[in-house]
Structure 1
Amino acid sequence: MKKILVPFILLLVLLISACSNGSEVKEDKNKKEAEAPKEEQSGTITYQSENGPIEVPANPQRVILLSGYTGNVISLGVNIVGVDVWSKNNPTFAEELKDVEEVSDESLEKIIELEPDLIIAGSTSKNIDKLSEIAPTVTYTWGKVDYLTQHIELGKLLNKENEAKEWVEGFKAQAEAAGEEIRAKIGEDATVTVIEGYDKQLYVFGDNWARGTEILYQSMKLKMPEKVKEMALKEGYYTLSAEVLPEFAGDYIVFSKYADADSSFQETETYKNIPAVKNNRVFEMEGNGASFTDPVTLEKQLAFFKESFLGN
């Protein structure tokens, strides 16, 4: 009798323990679900946009960009189904956008056909109300925050804030380290000027107008000539004539150059006699796509600057 009773008691104890553990697991699961935000349970999150809170997908699958933040979204690994013409024609994104449709804030029917679950636009975009009826639409004011903060904001919107912050910290460290190496080579007082020729106009840029200016002046802490500070730093850019370019030219020149732009000024004696030109210190950068400040573009520009200044 004892031989039968002992196994029976042991089996009973095991059954009670299993039921207790199962109940605890179920209670723990229910507790976690209750504590989780209702938005995440329903597949959405609430994003605090410039215009107030807006409910957006927690894991967007079909994003349309009308604003130029395309590279940010590519960097964060989110699927894109439609982009603005500038993004579509940007050679930096050619591979990633080869099967993506070109759209605008006026091609509403085409946007409807693409069935987006999130639209990202600029604050000056047209038809925001109509776009919002198609899918949650979030707008940004260009330049309202700095380029790195903007990437983190897009990370929040796409529910990838940690990934965005990780990229920002890594990029800052790389750019600052490259800046130290460049300054050690060219000298702490050496100056750099960023120019661009576009549509028969010549421009010089401050420290926050893309074309790599954020990297060169903010992260790398390279110096700009006094004339550039005076005329371009506040507004971000300044239009000038080729005749006065020598007044703005630093020890080094970064030239954001478009293949189809008028660059005949480079054949003039005025240009050829600029010290940076005579010393072979003009670095020509692909102009098409240089006006973006996203991770894909910035990484490309950082590699270009390291190669140009350091030869590596």
Structure 2
Amino acid sequence: MVSLPRTARTLVTVAALGSLLVCGCSPQPPAPEEPEGGTRTVEAANGSVEIPATPRRIAVLWRPTLAAVTLLGHDVVATMGTPGGEDQGLAPFLPGGADGGGHALVTNSPSEEDVDVEELANAAPDLIIGVSTPVGAQAGMLESLEAIAPTVLLEWEGTGSWRGHLDEVAGVLDASEEAGRALEAYEEAVASARGEIEAAGVDPAATELSLVRLQSGSEIRLETAESFPGQVVDDLGFARPEGQLEGEGPTDYIAQSYENLDRADGDAVFVMAGSGYPDAPRTFSEGVWSNLDAVREEAVYRVDHDHWGAANHYAALRIVEDVRAALTGEAEPAL
């Protein structure tokens, strides 16, 4: 069947309505076109949603969802850029880096007011996947999204959701086998890295890894065992400093001033800095850092928080590789 251009379809519709008025008939709304390949119904935070059985133009409005969709073998036509990034480049954890070519970048955050609905509509998605939580996500603009394409909202209950989110997205895309392979790849990477680390003479269970995130200004954040990188190093079997086991309050990090930098010490220290703090130092051997045992033992490593804080399977693999390289002597300390 030949598909008419949009303008032609509009003229045909107007002519048809005119004929109906002449004959006195009541106009009936046109039946929606069924997606190629039919539809299927999925359960989501916003109820039962009928979606294309084989979606071909997917838009995602949450960075972990972007990771999950691409990991499951799908491309996206619209997505979110790096939060706070002036150029709104795609998330750097994706294969190929932050190149945003071919994708409409419609938001820098999950907040309703930051989604460019017009740009999203221009991308012509046949499926939109967003999140209903946390507060400020897309639940408040569901009607606008549904006017563009079938919309599935998934729940995100904090950092720990990164594991289950892949399965949830796989349920939407009918890709459970692909999700299983991705999980197996992660487990194999963890086992392989741990084997190399132990072969290098390091016992993870007896080695305390300190995870420190740099902030602009005078604050540092100690990532706890509940944080995303904390969960990954736990998968590798590493111990954590006593002061980094649990957060204070609802957060999965502990905010500290540089006066309390001693709480950041460990057998090895991984210092996170990323695009949110472009002026972060490259090395850590002077000033207050020089008081840390890890500095004196040349066991301080600078890593990219754009990966270590991304809460998805791509990023988890990067953390595993960074830790393996550091503790086998392959990576140079940041001194």
TM-score (norm 2): 0.72
Alignment of 1:267-282 (within 5 A): 268-282=286-300
Compute the displacement of 1:42 (Å). Answer: 5.4
Compute the displacement of 1:311 (Å). Answer: 3.8
- 1:215 pairs with 2:232: yes
Q: Distance in 1 between matches of 2:60 and 2:321?
A: 26
2:245 aligned to which of 208, 220, 229: 229
Q: Distance in 2 between matches of 1:267 and 1:178?
A: 28
* Paired residues of 1:183 and 1:222 also in contact (CA < 8 A): no
- 1:141 pairs with 2:155: yes
* Paired residues of 2:57 and 2:76 also in contact (CA < 8 A): yes
Alpha-carbon spacing, 1:49–1:119, altered in 2? closer, same or farther (3 Å) = same
Aligned to 2:38: 43
Aligned to 1:242: 258
Alpha-carbon spacing, 1:207–1:117, altered in 2? closer, same or farther (3 Å) = farther
Aligned to 1:307: 325
Moved more, 86-95 or 124-133: 86-95
Moved more, 138-147 or 195-204: 138-147
Compute the displacement of 1:291 (Å). Answer: 2.0
Higher fraction of helix? 1
Compute the displacement of 1:198 (Å). Answer: 2.5
Q: Distance in 2 between matches of 1:232 and 1:206?
A: 10
1:251 aligned to which of 267, 285, 302: 267
* Paired residues of 1:179 and 1:222 also in contact (CA < 8 A): no
Letter in 1 for 2:258: A
The CA deviation string for residues 242-287 of structure 1, in whole angstroms up to 9 with x for no partner, is 1112123211111111361444994653211201111111121122
2:180 aligned to which of 145, 165, 190: 165
2:302 aligned to which of 261, 281, 284: 284
2:316 aligned to which of 278, 298, 306: 298
Compute the displacement of 1:95 (Å). Answer: 6.1
Aligned to 1:79: 75
Q: Distance in 2 between matches of 1:234 and 1:102?
A: 31
Compute the displacement of 1:181 (Å). Answer: 4.3
* Paired residues of 2:211 and 2:264 also in contact (CA < 8 A): no
* Paired residues of 1:192 and 1:223 also in contact (CA < 8 A): yes
TM-score (norm 1): 0.77
Aligned to 2:209: 192
- 1:102 pairs with 2:101: no
The number of aligned residues is 272
Structure 2: gaps of 5 or more residues:
1-33, 84-88, 331-335
Q: Distance in 2 between matches of 1:245 and 1:183?
A: 29
Q: Distance in 1 between matches of 2:35 and 2:324?
A: 43
Q: Distance in 2 between matches of 1:267 and 1:181?
A: 28
Alignment of 1:110-149 (within 5 A): 110-123=119-132, 124-125=137-138, 126-143=140-157, 146-149=161-164
* Paired residues of 1:245 and 1:271 also in contact (CA < 8 A): yes
* SS of alignment partner, residue 53 of structure 1: strand
Compute the displacement of 1:73 (Å). Answer: 1.3
Identity %: 20
* Paired residues of 2:272 and 2:304 also in contact (CA < 8 A): yes
Moved more, 232-241 or 252-261: 232-241
Aligned to 1:4: none
The CA deviation string for residues 179-210 of structure 1, in whole angstroms up to 9 with x for no partner, is 35435632332101111113323111123433
Aligned to 1:19: none
* SS of alignment partner, residue 165 of structure 1: helix
Letter in 1 for 2:313: P
Alignment of 1:7-22 (within 5 A): none
Q: Distance in 1 between matches of 2:249 and 2:162?
A: 16
Compute the displacement of 1:115 (Å). Answer: 0.5
Alignment of 1:23-42 (within 5 A): none
Structure 1: gaps of 5 or more residues:
1-38
Compute the displacement of 1:174 (Å). Answer: 2.3
Q: Which has the larger radius of gyration?
A: 1
